[in-house]
Structure 1
Amino acid sequence: MYESFYSLKTKPFALLPDSDFLYAGSTHRAAYSLLEYGLLSQAPFVVLTGDPGMGKTSLLQKLMSEHRGKFSIGLVTNARYDVEHLLPWILLSLGLAKKRLDPVEAYHIFSEFLSQESRQHRRVILIIDEAQSLGAELLEELRLLSNMNDGKQLKLQIILSGQPDLQLLLKRIDMSQFAQRIVADYHLEPLTDVDTANVISHRLQVAGGQTGLFTKRACALVHRLTRGNPRLINQVCDIALTYGFAEQKRVITSKIVAQAALDRGRGGILPLAGKEDLVTLANAPEDAAEIETALPAAQAAVSNADTSIMRRERLPGIDYDEALELKKTGRLDEAVEIFERVAKNPAYWLRAYAQIGLCHRAMGNTDGALHAFRTALNDQSASGKEVLDVQYFLARTLEATGQQEEAMLLYRRVAQANSHYRDAAFRARDLGGRPRLKKQGKASADEDVSWIGNLQRLISSHK
């Protein structure tokens, strides 16, 4: 609805868990570090808790995407206390069974799988989301499954994620044996006011938009209404953008947020806080100073008769799309010139330089392509998928110029991160197994990079 108006590639505040949009705030960084610490320290059990909407599932998705190449990972999301046994759900999550098995057969299959993976030096990581729904009996079944860790090598690790009720369950006296096996646990706290403003800017940036679209006062009001709950932040910001679009406002002010929250909260279902003065805020005139400190160019563009020119100056997404069209029609030099201008915006750094590299490859300028691809990889905020794309094209270009050793290392790195990524694993084996002739000529220009926007990469101190 509003994406085109605000030059967004996608909806920045969708409710579906998406690790690419995960903001690396202090509480989520600490939680992710603990999850990785659990993997590194071979902890039998790790527990992550938090209120609904705090981002637990997004953290788990990030953990799975970054470590699936090293471990066999199964995710159980819909098991409840009223199921007879948990093991069939576990086998289903690992792809080991598609039909109902009796308990003895299921145990045998799981035991054999653990032994098989252990022989290949791969641990099995079992993630149970919404674990507070299991109840004491199914948690006891998990404890007994952990007894399969015999000998010196850990075969099975279990990560439990759930709401605060999971903490209460694990603190019960009859759960003491289970609790003693928990090596690490972390409770996600709500975001601070600073982190709330940062997460709004971050999600806008990932979606390809302007980070300053929400004013400081608007961000402060969002924090007050949501108490720093990420899911509620998404809901309030999404409806605020809808209201802003309806009124053709280039900046989302506290007045627009108040109007949106007031209408959204009339039904009483959305649990917003601090709503006392929303009526006053919603009916107050716009504060010009609030708008001027956000996006001065945006305010000017609304009143300027030649809005298309103004928008081209301040919205790099429009220039980026134009450069893509020039590239498709073979006007590569012109495309490179525009991509270089777009690359000055941090939100477009990686994708712009990657496209510059593809243009140089099409023109036969492999040195320029290599330089552009390497420059693109300097973007520390890029998503894992974006980095893999650029690494792969860099490797293809290196291979085409006869630099086989570096190309092979890059292919291996890509394949380790994603074993099914294109033909990276095959090319790594091919280059490693036999000498290859140095290739000359132009690299293919019809390959393109799939972009899903920037994201703040989580950096763990335990990596």
Structure 2
Amino acid sequence: MPLVYLEYYGLKEPPFDLTPNPRFLYFSARHREALNHLLYGIRERKGFVQLTGEVGAGKTTICRAFLEKLGPQYATALILNPVLDSDHLMKAIAMEFGLDTKGRDRLETLAAINHFLLEQVEHGRDAVLIIDEAQDLTDELLEQVRLLSNLETDERKLLQIVLMGQPELRDRLNAPHLRQLRQRITVRYHLRPLSRLEVGHYIQHRLQVSGANGAPYFTAGALWRIHRYSKGIPRLINAVCDKCLLAGFVKQRDSIDFSLAGLAIRELEGKVDV
């Protein structure tokens, strides 16, 4: 059915797909600040950088844009699911850096990571470890991550670390027993939801990227209702706008108004069939 509304509205691709895609990233002032904080922390070798935000606020999409901005002079490892024990976390990090971990225990894996990081320095490259959903790390794993930051030469740290997660990450790191880690995090940014005005810009941006030319059109009433429902969270905006376009196709309307947005929201909540 979504393919049918693409044809109806003359769109080249789904504008509100939930899969993170840097090409669709709308740089609100908040998103731009978040990206700039990440880039500053890494390029200035601040050691630890922390990025938090609500579920669906756009952290993962910003992360992908961040990786593209870093370029080939950085060796990067991205851990998307940190719910592991300490041995498997070390192996996962090593594998993300392209290292062979077969037959190695944790100490041997750590030694291999250290050797790899020293090689990067010799070749004039920096290494960055990014851990998404970091609020799910146990205290033991957070301590392992802190110890990784101890890898260094006389002149510099060998590894820059980015911790990304939900607001609970801030609460976790404020615990007294994690103060050694908290004190090492010198760059922090909390990604806040989009404003009502930004929601309109966000929707228009995604429509333009997907090839929209005049239609579909979201009225001011529809934008107000979408902002009220989504509270400015991009993932929820995408979900309700996808339903709006489906409803618009079913009703054969080029304009998405207040009532159609409400119909889409009720369908999304499972309260009506579009």
**Which range, TM-score by smaller chain?**
over 0.9
Partner in structure 1 of residue 116 of structure 2: 113
Partner in structure 2 of residue 184 of structure 1: 187
Q: Please state how far the C-alpha of 1:43 moved relative to its aligned partner.
A: 1.0
Partner in structure 2 of residue 80 of structure 1: 83
| Other structure's SS at 2:267 match | helix
Structure 2 CA distance, aligned partners of 1:63 and 1:258?
Answer: 35
Is 1:198 aligned with 2:201?
yes
Is 1:139 aligned with 2:150?
no
Partner in structure 2 of residue 260 of structure 1: 264
Structure 1 CA distance, aligned partners of 2:241 and 2:173?
Answer: 36
Partner in structure 1 of residue 159 of structure 2: 156
Partner in structure 2 of residue 215 of structure 1: 219
Structure 2: which amino acid aligns with 1:236? V
Any residues of structure 2 matched to 1:222-261 within 5 Å, and which?
A: 222-261=226-265
Greater RCO between the two (CA within 8 Å, min separation 6)? Answer: 2
Name whichever structure is richer in strand by fraction. 2
Q: Please state how far the C-alpha of 1:108 moved relative to its aligned partner.
A: 1.5
Which region of structure 1 is more displaced relative to structure 2, 171-180 or 246-255? 246-255
Kept in 2: contact 1:53–1:232 (CA 8 A): yes
Structure 2 CA distance, aligned partners of 1:113 and 1:208?
Answer: 44
Return closer, same or farther for 1:55/1:100 CA change in 2, 3 Å cut-off: farther
Kept in 2: contact 1:92–1:98 (CA 8 A): yes
Within the candidate set 155, 173, 177, 1:174 is matched to: 177
Q: Please state how far the C-alpha of 1:263 moved relative to its aligned partner.
A: 2.1
Q: CA RMSD, aligned part only? A: 1.6
Partner in structure 2 of residue 53 of structure 1: 56
Within the candidate set 32, 38, 47, 1:35 is matched to: 38
Structure 1: which amino acid aligns with 2:236? L
Q: Please state how far the C-alpha of 1:221 moved relative to its aligned partner.
A: 1.1
Partner in structure 2 of residue 6 of structure 1: 9
For structure 1, list consecutive stretches of 5 or more residues without a partner in the other structure: 268-278, 280-463
Structure 1 CA distance, aligned partners of 2:176 and 2:78?
Answer: 28
Q: Deviations over 1:276-328 (max 9, x none)?
A: xxx9xxxxxxxxxxxxxxxxxxxxxxxxxxxxxxxxxxxxxxxxxxxxxxxxx
Structure 1: which amino acid aligns with 2:226? V
Number of matched residues? 268
Return closer, same or farther for 1:69/1:40 CA change in 2, 3 Å cut-off: same
Structure 1: which amino acid aligns with 2:246? T
Within the candidate set 24, 45, 64, 2:27 is matched to: 24
Q: Deviations over 1:395-432 (max 9, x none)?
A: xxxxxxxxxxxxxxxxxxxxxxxxxxxxxxxxxxxxxx
Kept in 2: contact 1:205–1:211 (CA 8 A): no
Q: Deviations over 1:97-132 (max 9, x none)?
A: 253520121011101100100001101000001111
Q: Please state how far the C-alpha of 1:68 moved relative to its aligned partner.
A: 2.9
The structure having more radius of gyration, on CA atoms, is 1
Structure 1 CA distance, aligned partners of 2:49 and 2:174?
Answer: 15
Kept in 2: contact 1:80–1:134 (CA 8 A): yes
| Other structure's SS at 1:183 match | strand
Which region of structure 1 is more displaced relative to structure 2, 72-81 or 176-185? 72-81
Is 1:67 aligned with 2:70?
yes
Structure 2: which amino acid aligns with 1:117? Q
Structure 2 CA distance, aligned partners of 1:79 and 1:104?
Answer: 19
Q: Please state how far the C-alpha of 1:41 moved relative to its aligned partner.
A: 1.5
Moved over 6 A (4+): none
Structure 1: which amino acid aligns with 2:268? R
Structure 2: which amino acid aligns with 1:220? W
Q: Deviations over 1:36-55 (max 9, x none)?
A: 11022211100000110000
Structure 2 CA distance, aligned partners of 1:202 and 1:83?
Answer: 42
Structure 2: which amino acid aligns with 1:232? L
Q: Deviations over 1:65-114 (max 9, x none)?
A: 12131200110111215454521110111111253520121011101100
For structure 2, list consecutive stretches of 5 or more residues without a partner in the other structure: none
Partner in structure 2 of residue 122 of structure 1: 125
